[in-house]
Amino acid sequence: MFWIQGWTQQLAKCSRPLRRLLSEANNNLPVLTLFTKNPCPLCDEAKAVLEPYKHKFLLQEVDITLPDHSSWFEKYKYDIPVFHLNGQFLMKHRVDIKELEKRLLALELQLIKKNENI
């Protein structure tokens, strides 16, 4: 129990990219990044659409209005919500479930192939 708490505290102190890598390695789940801001009603709608699929990925939200994310703000200020899957652009403005399912399946097949070759 103490080991888990300590590990969780250390994980919380890690950089965001490192947390993402550790999460992926730990769960073998792809990371779906949502570029958002507050308020964002379209982002809230998108998250509701994604709810039935939340067991298939780790959702990471990036608030583009924070100073550390100014490059994302410049890129996506007129396009949120924007989604990346494992660091690659996936979709913007709304959730395309068919595209999400297709990309998740491709990642799953890739992981299966990788595990077969080990």
Quick check: 33 and 62 in contact, CB under 8 A?
yes
- Extents of the domains making up the chain: 27-116
3-28 pLDDT, tens digit per residue, is 444 444 454 455 666 555 555 455 68
Query: Strand pairing partners for 31?
Result: 58
CATH of domain 27-116: 3.40.30.10
Quick check: 50 and 62 in contact, CB under 8 A?
no
DSSP H helical ranges for the chain: 2-13, 16-27, 41-50, 70-76, 97-116
Q: Is the pTM of this model over 0.75?
A: no
Element (H, E) at 27: helix 16-27
Round to whole Å and give the CA distance between 63 and 56: 22
